[in-house]
């Protein structure tokens, strides 16, 4: 049986479809050109009708009768006048054509005189960097044409450059960081100071794209972010740098903002964080924001080296194991954290060897937040005690398999006082506040693609997670709610995120109750469950709990479930 040939539309269908599409596009363009007068008149009639309807609605009701009488009189006069309807139709078409004309301003073919002068000066400033005496056809030369070097440019409303594409010769050393830094500094100075510029180097095409970055929003208050367990929102960045957005409330309405998300846990490559900045740059705000997010699924131990009560709102809250501001309390808390890390590792290792899943008490995340730990280094040295930072070696080295995360925040001037394990094991880095390009590269490990500026709002800086790109960062507004200078709206936002207080609070005493015949037997409070203890045949559960007046040990409560 002979095969029938395929239809012609299937054999060369793609070519026919492309040809048909081109014919349809050509026919549509021709029809648009032919019918352009009719389209203009129809648009004008629609605008005239809208104007008449607007005038009718704006006329008071008591004057609408007179207006109708006047319109009827005009129509009657036009109908009785010789050639009146024809003249009225011609007048109406002319008015509609005038109203329906294209009112968009014509785009200018080139820059005006001031813009051309600015581009000319920028071109002359780049000549010493992009020219060579051996070049037979130099792209940059004194008195040369700037339009060949700048194929694309744009200006803002103030007459300053907002976007620019710079072509440079192939022999320019664009692979050297110092050569790039010189060009970036020059372009930022000539284009206008006080703004942040983003530079994109295309080494293959020998082009540099300069763009002006919009300011990041500084009024995004702390709130519940749509994240999964193990994800922490450090702040917000530019939409072109990340491929994810978070829905949140900003300015009384819902909007999507691109975040900088830090992932922790067993599969994280950056399990610990180091944040540095100048005084007042917002490092304490960042720690409060992290603490509020960590309390949703874990426990928190806070070390306050500043001693200013920045974390007093977290004291006694559910999930906050300790908030320490003294040397003795800090040492005891960090010793317990190291012991707890070892216990978790041993319990998880035994479960793995036995073929069982890890115990539940090793799965709950434990966060250790330290604000200015170098302040206790000097106190410990003066008292002849051990540096509390040395107790962080076990949580830093073995914290990831034990679900223990360490966050250290300190000042840029105290970076040399941090011990080597802190600098080596904190692969997630944040720099807040004003900083030089050398400081940013020393802390982040790579220079940012934007030009740093001198004046920054609190919580503004840069972040880099591991070996990823450097992001601009704006920390959510998470101030101390007990500060009198804090706006009420921000205070209420932070207080709404705080967990309830633990009952009874640490350090309280429980008074003894009178055991009379009429008094009912005391029952344990529902908010304070009894500590778990191994059940033995000799020990039976007591009917009445033991009440005592002894206070809980200071500086930290009992932080383990072991008896």
> How many Cα atoms occupy the beta-carbon half-sphere of 412 within 13 Å?
21
pLDDT at 512: 43
Are residues 204 and 246 located together in one domain of the fold? no
DSSP 8-class letter at 161: E
Give me the chain's average pLDDT, please. 82
Residue 548 within any structural domain of the chain: no
Q: Tokens standing for 248?
A: 């949140």
Tokens encoding 144: 């040369």
Predicted pLDDT of residue 284: 93
Tell me the three state secondary structure of residue 137: coil
pLDDT tens for 501-518 read: 886 544 444 444 444 444
3-state secondary structure 258-284: CEEEEECCCCCCCCCEEEEECCCCCHH
| pLDDT higher at 5 or 353 | 353
Closest to 152 in 3D by CA, of 215, 199, 211, 205: 211
Q: 466 a known binding residue? A: no
pTM above 0.85, yes or no: no
pLDDT at 542: 38
What CATH number corresponds to the domain at position 467? Answer: 3.40.50.300
> Is 227 exposed, middle or buried (CB count within 10 Å of its CB: 0-12, 13-18, 19+)?
middle
Is residue 409 predicted with pLDDT exceeding 50? yes
Same domain for 313 and 247? yes
- Which residue, 184, 70, 76, 73, is CA-closest to 125? 184
Spatial separation of the C-alpha atoms in residues 488 and 467, rounded to whole Å = 40
Residues 162, 274, single domain; the answer is: no
Domain membership of residue 34 (yes or no) is no
281 is in an annotated binding site: yes
Asked whether residue 280 is marked as a ligand-binding residue, the answer is yes
What pLDDT, on a 0 to 100 scale, did the predictor assign at position 504? 52
161, pLDDT greater than 50: yes
The percent of residues above 90 in pLDDT, for the chain, comes to 42
Please write down the long-range contacts of 147-150, taking CB distance under 8 Å and 24 or more positions apart: 149/123, 150/119, 150/122, 150/123
Q: Which residue has the tokens 């006048």?
A: 81
Cα–chain center distance at 315: 28
For residue range 288-311, what is the model confidence (pLDDT) as tens digits? Answer: 999 999 999 999 999 999 888 899
Residue 150 is assigned to a structural domain of this protein: yes
Compute φ and ψ for 266, nearest 5 degrees. -65, -35
The model's confidence at residue 520, banded by pLDDT at 50, 70 and 90, is very low
User: Burial level of 351, CB count in 10 A (0-12/13-18/19+)?
Assistant: middle
Residue 483 structural domain: 231-496
Only one residue has tokens 């790579």, namely: 446
Q: 474-484, pLDDT tens digit by residue?
A: 999 999 999 88
Number of CB atoms found within 10 A of residue 220's CB: 21
Q: Is 73 annotated as a binding residue?
A: no
* pLDDT(9) > 80: no
Question: Structurally, how many domains does the chain consist of?
Answer: 2
Last residue of a domain, one of 463, 496, 529: 496
Q: Are 248 and 257 in contact (CB under 8 A)?
A: yes
Residue 479 lies in a domain: yes
- 265 and 359 assigned to the same domain: yes
User: CA 95, CA 41: separation in Å to the nearest integer?
Assistant: 9
Task: Name the band, by pLDDT with cuts 50, 70 and 90, for residue 18.
Answer: low
279 assigned binding-site residue: yes
Least Cα distance to 119 among 169, 160, 180, 168 occurs for: 160
Q: What is the DSSP track for 444-468?
A: HSS--SB---S---TTEEEEEETTS
Q: Does a structural domain hold residue 560?
A: no
Q: Are 284 and 461 in contact (CB under 8 A)?
A: no
Asked if residue 384 and residue 241 are part of one domain, the reply reads: yes
- Interval 379-389 mean pLDDT: 88
Examine the fold and report which residue of 496, 520, 541 is the final residue of a domain before the chain moves on: 496
Q: Are 178 and 261 members of one domain? A: no
Residues 204 and 235 in one domain: no
- pLDDT value, residue 503: 60
CA-closest candidate to residue 418, choices 374, 471, 455, 462: 374
Residue 72 lies in a domain: no
- 24-38, 139-153, 357-371, 535-549: which range is least confident on average? 535-549
Residue 556 has pLDDT above 70, yes or no: no
For 187-243, the pLDDT digits (tens) are: 988 888 778 888 999 999 999 999 988 888 888 999 999 999 999 999 999 887 788
Same domain, 491 and 439: yes
151-172 mean pLDDT: 89
Q: What is the mean pLDDT of residues 474-495?
A: 90
Q: Mean pLDDT over residues 16-40, rounded? A: 74
Confidence at 522, pLDDT banded by 50, 70, 90: very low
Q: How confident is the model at residue 447 (pLDDT cuts 50, 70, 90)?
A: confident
Residue finishing a domain among 461, 478, 496: 496
What is the radius of gyration, based on Cα positions, of the chain? 36
From residue 428, give the alpha-carbon distance in Å to each of 227, 258, 274, 408.
19, 18, 6, 11
**Rounded Cα–Cα distance for residues 283 and 429 (Å):** 12
Residue, of 16 and 430, whose pLDDT is higher: 430
Instruction: Return the closest-CA partner of residue 220 out of 259, 251, 244, 246.
Output: 251
pLDDT(252) > 80: no
Is residue 2 a part of any domain in this protein?
A: no
Please report the beta strands in 76-214, taking only residues with DSSP state E, as ranges in sequence order.
152-155, 161-167, 197-202, 207-212
pLDDT for 546 equals: 38
Report the DSSP pairing between strands 470-474 and 197-202: unpaired
Pairwise pLDDT comparison (559 vs 165), residue with the higher score: 165
Phi, psi of 242 (to 5 degrees): -125, 160
Let me know: does 448 contact 463? Beta carbons within 8 Å.
no
Q: Is 496 a known ligand-binding residue?
A: no
Question: Above 50 in pLDDT, residue 406?
Answer: yes
pLDDT band at 524 (very low <50, low <70, confident <90, very high): very low
Please state, in angstroms and rounded to a whole number, the distance separating the CA atoms of residues 274 and 431. Answer: 9
Per the model's pLDDT, the better-predicted residue between 397 and 505 turns out to be: 397
What pLDDT digit, counting tens, does each position of 425-442 carry? Answer: 999 999 999 998 889 999
284 with 382, same domain?
yes
Residue 557 pLDDT = 44
Instruction: Establish if 259 belongs to a structural domain.
Output: yes
309 known ligand binder? no
Q: Is 277 annotated as a binding residue?
A: yes
Least confident span in 19-28, 239-248, 483-492: 19-28
pLDDT category at 523 given cuts 50, 70, 90 is very low
| Among 527, 531, 533, residue whose Cα is nearest residue 505 | 527
Cα 448 from chain centroid? 16
Q: Do 321 and 428 fall within a single domain? A: yes
% of the chain exceeding 70 in pLDDT: 84
Q: Are residues 290 and 365 in the same domain?
A: yes
**Is residue 473 a contact partner of residue 237, using CB atoms and an 8 Å limit?**
yes
Are 324 and 450 members of one domain? yes
Looking at the DSSP assignment, which residues form a beta bridge with residue 450? 198
Per-residue pLDDT for 321 more than 90?
yes
Whether 427 and 468 have beta carbons less than 8 Å apart is answered as: no
Q: pLDDT per residue over 57-79, tens digit each?
A: 888 888 888 888 888 888 888 88
């Amino acid at each position: 049986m002979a095969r029938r040939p395929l239809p012609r539309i299937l054999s060369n269908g793609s070519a026919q479809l492309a040809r048909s599409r081109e014919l349809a596009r050509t026919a549509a363009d021709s029809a648009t050109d032919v019918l352009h007068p009719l389209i203009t008149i129809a648009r004008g009639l629609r605008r005239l009708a809208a104007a008449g309807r607007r005038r009718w609605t704006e006329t008071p009701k008591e004057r609408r009768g007179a207006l109708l009488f006047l319109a009827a009189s005009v129509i009657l006069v036009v109908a009785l006048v010789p050639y009146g309807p024809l003249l009225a139709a011609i007048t109406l078409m002319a008015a509609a054509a005038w109203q329906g004309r294209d009112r968009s301003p014509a785009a200018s073919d080139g820059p005006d005189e001031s813009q051309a002068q600015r581009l000319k000066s920028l071109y002359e400033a780049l000549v010493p960097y992009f020219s060579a005496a051996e070049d037979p056809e130099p792209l940059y030369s004194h008195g040369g044409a700037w339009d060949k070097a700048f194929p694309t440019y744009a200006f803002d409303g103030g007459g300053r450059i907002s976007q620019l594409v710079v072509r440079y010769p192939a022999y320019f050393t664009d692979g050297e960081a110092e050569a790039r830094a010189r060009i970036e500094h020059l372009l930022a100075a000539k284009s206008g100071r006080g703004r942040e510029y983003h530079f994109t180097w295309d080494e293959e095409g020998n082009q540099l794209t300069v763009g002006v970055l919009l300011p990041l929003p500084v009024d995004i208050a702390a709130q519940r972010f749509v994240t999964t367990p193990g994800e922490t929102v450090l702040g917000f960045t530019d939409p072109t740098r990340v491929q994810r957005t978070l829905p949140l409330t900003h300015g009384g309405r819902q909007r999507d903002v691109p975040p900088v998300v830090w992932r922790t846990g067993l599969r994280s490559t950056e399990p610990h964080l180091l944040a540095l900045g100048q005084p007042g740059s917002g490092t304490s705000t960042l720690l409060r924001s992290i603490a509020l997010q960590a309390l949703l699924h874990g426990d928190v131990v806070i070390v306050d080296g500043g001693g200013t009560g920045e974390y007093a709102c977290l004291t006694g809250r559910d999930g906050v194991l300790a908030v320490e501001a003294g040397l003795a309390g800090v040492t005891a808390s960090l010793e317990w954290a190291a012991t707890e890390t070892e216990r978790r590792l041993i319990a998880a290792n035994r479960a793995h060897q036995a073929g069982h899943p890890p115990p539940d008490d090793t799965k709950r995340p434990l966060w250790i937040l330290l604000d200015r730990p170098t302040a206790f280094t000097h106190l410990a040295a003066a008292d002849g005690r051990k540096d509390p930072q040395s107790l962080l070696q076990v949580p830093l080295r073995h914290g990831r398999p034990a679900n223990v995360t360490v966050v250290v925040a300190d000042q840029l001037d105290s970076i040399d006082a941090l011990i080597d394990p802190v600098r080596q094991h904190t692969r997630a880095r944040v720099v807040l506040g004003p900083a030089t390009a050398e400081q940013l590269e020393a802390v982040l490990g790579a220079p940012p693609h934007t030009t740093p500026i001198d004046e920054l709002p609190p919580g503004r800086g840069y972040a880099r997670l591991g070996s990823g790109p450097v992001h601009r960062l704006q920390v959510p507004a998470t101030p101390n709610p007990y500060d009198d200078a804090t706006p009420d709206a921000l205070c209420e936002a932070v207080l709404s995120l705080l967990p309830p207080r633990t009952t009874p609070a640490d350090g309280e005493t429980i008074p003894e109750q009178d055991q009379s015949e009429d008094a009912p037997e005391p029952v344990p409070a529902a908010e304070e469950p009894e500590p778990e203890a191994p059940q033995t045949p000799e020990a039976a559960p007591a009917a009445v709990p033991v009440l005592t007046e002894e206070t809980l040990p200071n500086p930290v409560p009992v932080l383990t479930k072991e008896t």
